[in-house]
Structure 1
Amino acid sequence: MKLKWHLIALIALILCLVGVSTTPVHAAGDDSLAKVKAKGTLVMGNSPNYPPYEFTVNENGKEKIVGMDIELGQQIAKDLGVKLVIKKMSFDSLLVALETGKVDMILSGFSPTATRKQHVDFSNNYYVSKQYIILNKTERGYYKNRRSFTGKRVGAVLGSTAANLVKQQMPGAKLVTMENASDLVLALKAHKIDGIVKDSASAIAYAQSDATLAAIDGKFSVSSAEAGNAIALPKGADSLRLAVNQSIAKVQQKDLFNKVYLKDAGKEIAKTNATKSMWHYWPYFAKGVGYTVGISLVAVIIGMLLGALIALIRLGHVKVFKAIFTAYVEFVRGTPLMVQVMFIYFGIGMFYNISAVVAGTLAVGLNSAAYVSEVFRGGIESIAKGQTEAARSLGLSQHDTMRYVVLPQAITSIWPALGNEFISLIKETSIVSIIGVADLIYQLRVVQADTYSGVLPIAIAMVLYFIMTFSLSRLLRHFEKKMHHA
């Protein structure tokens, strides 16, 4: 009977989630341009780790996103008479953000491939470039073009046009995909891969910024659609698309990409190269630590309170509630935290504009609650039944027995397990970087993209995580000793 209730509750939960995820975002009729003008902002989805198109710089201690795509976005917003708002997130989350209405457009080195056109509409191409291959300069003589990489490992950003080209036009090569270009460069330098296929402007920027790298023309056969970059827009947003195309035509007529945008990006890259010291980026790491600690602290509170409540309900006698929360615990423990973060951010975002920080914190807290509830339940059940019986025989109510007799003993026994959960939580918050939360991992990516340095930012992040977790473990150990001496 218990299993039946659990299965019914779990199926109901899954059906609710599926029902939410399949709700259409855009109503019939095209009022896309009118909506943008009415709210006064143009929200642009962007993954700022793709110089010279989009990347971040440290300007007076503050993070600033710059690059060719950013200047184009500013021009479009100016033509529309609205303010440009840049929403940062990982590259593979951009399409989901557009489809769920989190952003009005994607301007982030996007190519209008046939697969993407099934889900979104595209503007006219605003910039056309070749596909180059980045390699270690010491191996420059071994490789001439894409045909030289037979039997070699070739990297590309996950979900990019470059990744598709490696599959289609480098059949003898083994494709290695990663979410971040900086990780690919790090793998290249460590000789884990032999080359990286990237847009020519970006590949040349990497080669010019790192004396150990070189960029060669891959001689790929690319259609005009795949070779170009375009702006992705929601399906049916024709009025907004036409307005965007007018801005693109204006920019192309004045040749602003070659005359202005590329030069501006080059100047920013040059300034970054002049200040590659990690000390210059301490505000980035400090901001990342602040977000990580803040999210962890709030998530711990959510996890503790909700976890204790779930444990008490599951130990109760109301079968319906027990089945519902058992299904909740099993479902949360049976799905990856990354998927939960994305579902809460994009799923709830279909109905309510929840911020990335709130969504990430809520997801981590709800995930933690499932595990904390099991810790509480195990600790409460470990207390001998004689303790409860003795308390009740002395006239204590069930509520007072739990509060004054069972829980104090249970907390003492489960404290080490709770401490481990808190420490794990600090490390698990790193997953929120996929939706653009500026935690320590996100800032690590920013510094990597800015400095073209792979290992040193990682080493700094590792030390900072160790300091946070070690300090917390010492603090928890202190309270554990006080409990045992009480």
Structure 2
Amino acid sequence: MKKGLLKKLFATTLVGAMAISMVACGGEDAGEKDALTKIKEKGELTVGMSVDYAPYEFFVMENGKKKMVGMDLEILKEVAKDIGVDFKVEEMEFKGICTAVQAGQVDIGLSGLSPDEKRRELVDFSDIYFEAEQGILINKKDVSKIKKLEDLKGLKVGAQLGSIQADIANTIPDVKTKFLEEVPVLIQDLLAGNLDAVIVELPVADVQSVIHPELARAEEKVQDEAGGGSAIAVPKDQKALLDQINKTIKRLIDEEKIDSFYKDAVELSKSEVVGE
């Protein structure tokens, strides 16, 4: 009788201890604040950007001072306003933005990012806020020679490191590629004759051809199998933050503000762009 009673008491105690442990673990998970709550509590949204990509984000000189401008910056202002916080831009290399979001170094990434499969392994993405196709930027003297992607076979082609455009460049037979962090440096190489072409998004190609009249866009657009469009990078499994950002994007699209931001950024790019 005593042995049976002891066994029952031990079993009851063990089950009770396990239950308490499970509740404690569950309490920790339940008590973990989501990303949106943390952003609201600190009163600031930190954003990873590579500020060298007109018309998305770039610097201009205004009254002798360097000023950050661009379509993405205007979208960021609206996202922060809707959350009810200030924002802070953390400048970084383009290829490291999604990694920084994943590691919690910044709250979101906003830098003309296309949501490809490799990036989706690191972060979640908002809805597409801007659709853009790919293009080939060349010297005007080559417009009759370089009209489409196939014409770049065996030539020297540049693209931003870690970008969709770099992936496209790698599909060209016998191509000699040059991948760099900063697009303006690639543009200078193109102007100097060190590159035959630079693959960029069409808006970027159009802006660069305005800044540098000696450049032009190749006749045919580049077919991008990965799909075009730009989205905002968000930490994985942060539904509240993602929903909030998507709400802002929908509002801006419905109000036709993103088109307005784009047009304004193109006009600003006609001024003195720092780094070009």
**Is the shorter-chain TM-score for this pair beyond 0.5, marking a shared fold?**
yes
> What does 1:415-426 align with in structure 2 at a 5 Å threshold?
none
Whole-angstrom distance in 2 between the partners of 1:269 and 1:204: 10
Give 1:184 deviation, angstroms.
0.8
1:303-349, Cα deviation, whole Å (9 max, x unpaired): xxxxxxxxxxxxxxxxxxxxxxxxxxxxxxxxxxxxxxxxxxxxxxx
Give 1:93 deviation, angstroms.
2.6
> What does 1:75-474 align with in structure 2 at a 5 Å threshold?
75-168=78-171, 170-223=172-225, 226-258=227-259, 260-272=260-272, 447-448=274-275, 452=276
SS in 2 for 1:44: strand
Whole-angstrom distance in 2 between the partners of 1:162 and 1:97: 21
One-letter code of the match for 1:63? K
SS in 2 for 1:127: coil
The answer to whether the Cα contact below 8 Å between 1:121 and 1:235 also exists between their aligned partners in 2 is yes
1:394-451, Cα deviation, whole Å (9 max, x unpaired): xxxxxxxxxxxxxxxxxxxxxxxxxxxxxxxxxxxxxxxxxxxxxxxxxxxxx32xxx
Give 1:191 deviation, angstroms.
1.7
Give 1:74 deviation, angstroms.
0.5
SS in 2 for 1:109: strand
- Identify the residue that residue 25 of structure 2 maps to in structure 1: none
Runs of 4+ with deviation above 3 angstroms: 27-30
| Total equivalences in the alignment | 247
Whole-angstrom distance in 1 between the partners of 2:99 and 2:113: 14
The answer to whether the Cα contact below 8 Å between 1:154 and 1:197 also exists between their aligned partners in 2 is yes
One-letter code of the match for 2:232? I
Whole-angstrom distance in 1 between the partners of 2:58 and 2:103: 25
One-letter code of the match for 2:145? Y
Q: Sequence identity, in percent?
A: 34
The answer to whether the Cα contact below 8 Å between 1:98 and 1:104 also exists between their aligned partners in 2 is yes
One-letter code of the match for 1:142? K
The answer to whether the Cα contact below 8 Å between 2:154 and 2:173 also exists between their aligned partners in 1 is no
Whole-angstrom distance in 1 between the partners of 2:263 and 2:81: 21
Give 1:270 deviation, angstroms.
2.4
CA gap of 1:183–1:37, structure 2 versus 1, over 3 A, is same
One-letter code of the match for 1:181? V
Give 1:30 deviation, angstroms.
6.0
The answer to whether the Cα contact below 8 Å between 1:130 and 1:217 also exists between their aligned partners in 2 is no
The answer to whether the Cα contact below 8 Å between 1:30 and 1:239 also exists between their aligned partners in 2 is no
Give 1:150 deviation, angstroms.
1.1
One-letter code of the match for 2:175? A
SS in 2 for 1:204: helix
Give 1:92 deviation, angstroms.
2.3
1:336-369, Cα deviation, whole Å (9 max, x unpaired): xxxxxxxxxxxxxxxxxxxxxxxxxxxxxxxxxx
Give 1:174 deviation, angstroms.
2.6
The answer to whether the Cα contact below 8 Å between 1:77 and 1:83 also exists between their aligned partners in 2 is yes
One-letter code of the match for 1:83? D
SS in 2 for 1:87: strand
Give 1:246 deviation, angstroms.
0.5
Whole-angstrom distance in 2 between the partners of 1:55 and 1:143: 28
Whole-angstrom distance in 2 between the partners of 1:248 and 1:204: 24
Whole-angstrom distance in 2 between the partners of 1:125 and 1:72: 12
One-letter code of the match for 2:227? E
Whole-angstrom distance in 1 between the partners of 2:257 and 2:150: 34
Whole-angstrom distance in 2 between the partners of 1:272 and 1:37: 36
Any stretches of 5+ residues in structure 2 without a counterpart? 1-27
Whole-angstrom distance in 1 between the partners of 2:266 and 2:120: 32
Give 1:97 deviation, angstroms.
2.0
| Match of residue 31, structure 1, among 26, 34, 41 | 34
SS in 2 for 1:86: strand
Greater CA deviation, 225-234 or 202-211? 225-234
CA gap of 1:160–1:218, structure 2 versus 1, over 3 A, is farther
Give 1:221 deviation, angstroms.
2.3
Give 1:50 deviation, angstroms.
0.1
- More helix by percentage: 1
Larger RCO, structure (CA 8 Å, separation 6 or more) = 2
Which protein shows a greater Rg? Answer: 1
The answer to whether the Cα contact below 8 Å between 1:161 and 1:226 also exists between their aligned partners in 2 is no
Whole-angstrom distance in 2 between the partners of 1:188 and 1:237: 41
- Identify the residue that residue 381 of structure 1 maps to in structure 2: none
One-letter code of the match for 2:196? D
Computed over aligned residues only, the root mean square deviation of the Cα atoms, in angstroms, reads 1.7
SS in 2 for 1:37: helix
| Match of residue 42, structure 1, among 45, 67, 72 | 45
One-letter code of the match for 1:226? G
Whole-angstrom distance in 1 between the partners of 2:57 and 2:117: 24
The answer to whether the Cα contact below 8 Å between 2:137 and 2:218 also exists between their aligned partners in 1 is yes
